[in-house]
Structure 1
Amino acid sequence: MNRQIAEFIGTFTLVLFGCGSAVIAGADIGLTGISFAFGLALIGMAYAIGPVSGCHINPAVSLGAVAAGRMTFAEAIKYIIAQVAGAIAAALVLMLIMSGKADYSVAENGLGQNGWGVGYLGEYSMVSAFVFEVVATFLFMVVILGATGKGAPAAMAGLAIGLALVVIHLVGINVTGVSVNPARSIGPALFAGGTALAQLWLFIVAPIIGAVAAGLLFKTGTLDAEA
């Protein structure tokens, strides 16, 4: 398996099972269950494809790795293309599955897309959404770079990163549905359309800002870790 295929499969899995948990089983498992679905999907992929690609499965993480000096920008672009393609494919599969449910409508029920404002979960403001996504992605990237750095126990990296994603979801689902991952937001938004597509910019810009800021801290030695 090459790195791009690994990133495609990993992102596909995260979006299908993460967003799928919200759309298919959300009423049964609640916010806690959805949070663990995202985290457990990431843990599984970390051990499955981590040895192949590092299991970024997130454009913000790849760009954060560039900022930290752990990969080249050219390589990151290849990762990002595969990640976005995997997310789009997963959203399409989820929509096809849901279309078999008699009372399902993409417009009314969605695909687990991110958002903010009136009518979206906790109805938080755009400023709240932006601040949460920047800070949450920054902290998520700190965990990723620290857990995969020199001296860190490699066998525990996937678990630490996955559990960090669980915590982020536990806190933030009501704020934005939690992105911290532009690909995870792009896939569902493309099919949900409307407000999800109009608000997509925030879930691209904010996670990238947070991840790159964390990467620069590691690159400059402000946080002492080596790739």
Structure 2
Amino acid sequence: MHFKRPLAEAFGTFWLVFGGCGSAVLAAAFPHLGIGFAGVSLAFGLTVLTMAYAVGPVSGCHLNPAVTVGLATAGRFPWKEAPVYIVAQVIGGALAALALLQLMDAKPGFDVTVSGLAANGFDAGSPSGFGMMPVFATEVLATFFFVLIILGATAQRAHGALAPLAIGLCLTLIHLVTIPVSNTSVNPARSTGPALMVGGMALHQLWLFWVAPIVGAIAAGVVGRVLYSDDE
């Protein structure tokens, strides 16, 4: 594997976490700026949309361990390359969260344990107090459809130039629905970065935001093999 591919994944995942989580802790936290959670949802979608054009030609623009696993399950990506991609994605997400933490530390009165850097969680970690099982089910379902839409949008019969738009809008829609539930993960790398910086409950609950998206991605990969078998 050429080093440029995991490097592209690290850069892309950095942008996703910095842009998406950054919009939550820097802009949505200030009501007079007016972006709200709808603006945060759009920000996450825009990070994927823009990076799909920037690094898609290099690495395929996974930016997400669940996407990598889903594509491998569907036969669209070699399993042997998945660990390198996943490590690069986690590093990119962690560096973005570190950059956000350093930026927010410059703000008077900032407390990372209160802000949370848009960390994901359940029970007390959920924005609306959702328990573990509803959060788990939501993350599985949302990731399933996210990966399935990626498989469909990038199938040979699809309009490839429009794939980034479909994928970015899908991620926006997922955030519009699930931010109140879990702060929206569907991406273990996106969850890992803030959890490492915040620690405590966010780190203790991180396991769910690895297991649930991976389960949903594998299910989507299996279904995708059937739906898009003519494209293989």
TM-score (norm 2): 0.95
1:47 partner amino acid: Y
Match of 1:52 among 44, 51, 58: 58
Match of 2:21 among 19, 22, 44: 19
Structure-2 residue corresponding to 1:72: 78
Q: How many residues align?
A: 226
Residue 109 of structure 2 aligns to a residue whose secondary structure is coil
Counterpart for residue 156 of structure 1: 162
Is 2:208 the counterpart of 1:206?
no
User: In the alignment, is the contact (CA less than 8 A) between 1:149 and 1:225 conserved in 2?
Assistant: no
Q: Provide the rounded CA distance (Å) in 2 between the counterparts of 1:201 and 1:130.
A: 10
- For residues 210 and 178 of structure 2, the distance between their equivalents in structure 1, rounded to whole angstroms, comes to 17
Q: Distance in 1 between matches of 2:138 and 2:166?
A: 20
Q: How far is the alpha carbon of 1:118 from its aligned partner?
A: 2.9
Deviation of 1:70 after TM superposition, in Å, equals 1.1
Q: CA deviation at 1:74?
A: 1.4
Amino acid at match of 2:45: G
**1:42 and 2:48 equivalent?**
yes
Cα distance, 1:223 vs structure 2: 4.7
Aligned AA (2:4): N
Distance 1:154 1:148 in 2: 6
Mapped pair 1:178 → 2:195: no
Shift of residue 226, structure 1, vs aligned partner: 2.3
Which stretches in structure 1 are left out of the alignment for 5+ residues?
none
Give the partner amino acid of 1:17: G
Q: 1:159: Cα distance to partner?
A: 0.4
Equivalent in the alignment of 1:2: 4
Question: In structure 1, how many angstroms separate the alpha carbons of the residues matched to 2:165 and 2:227?
Answer: 25
**For residues 121 and 144 of structure 2, what CA distance do their matches in structure 1 show?**
19
Label 1:47 to 1:3 Cα distance change in 2 as closer, same or farther (>3 A).
same
TM superposition shift of 1:224: 4.5
Q: Is the 8 A contact 2:125 2:182 kept in 1?
A: no
* Residue equivalent to 2:203: 197
Post-superposition offset of 1:119: 5.7
- For 2:224, the equivalent position in structure 1 comes to 218
> What CA distance in whole angstroms lies between the structure 2 residues aligned with 1:213 and 1:201?
19
Q: Is this contact kept in 1: 2:62–2:68, CA < 8 A?
A: yes
Secondary structure at the counterpart of residue 207 of structure 2: helix
Give the fraction of aligned pairs with identical amino acids, expressed as a percent.
53
The one-character-per-residue Cα deviations of 1:105-154 (angstroms, maximum 9, x if unpaired) are 11111111001113631111111100000000000001000000111000
**Match in the other structure for 1:128:** 134
Cα separation, 1, equivalents of 2:117 and 2:111:
10
Deviations 1:7-56 (A, max 9, x none): 00000000001000000111331110000000001100011111111100
> Helix, strand or coil for the counterpart of 2:81?
helix
The AA in structure 1 aligned to 2:21 is C
Normalised to the residue count of structure 1, the TM-score between the two structures is 0.97
User: What is the CA RMSD across the aligned residues, in angstroms?
Assistant: 1.2
Matching residue's letter, 1:135: L
Whole-Å Cα distance in 1 between the matches of residues 204 and 140 of structure 2? Answer: 19
Moved over 6 A (4+): none
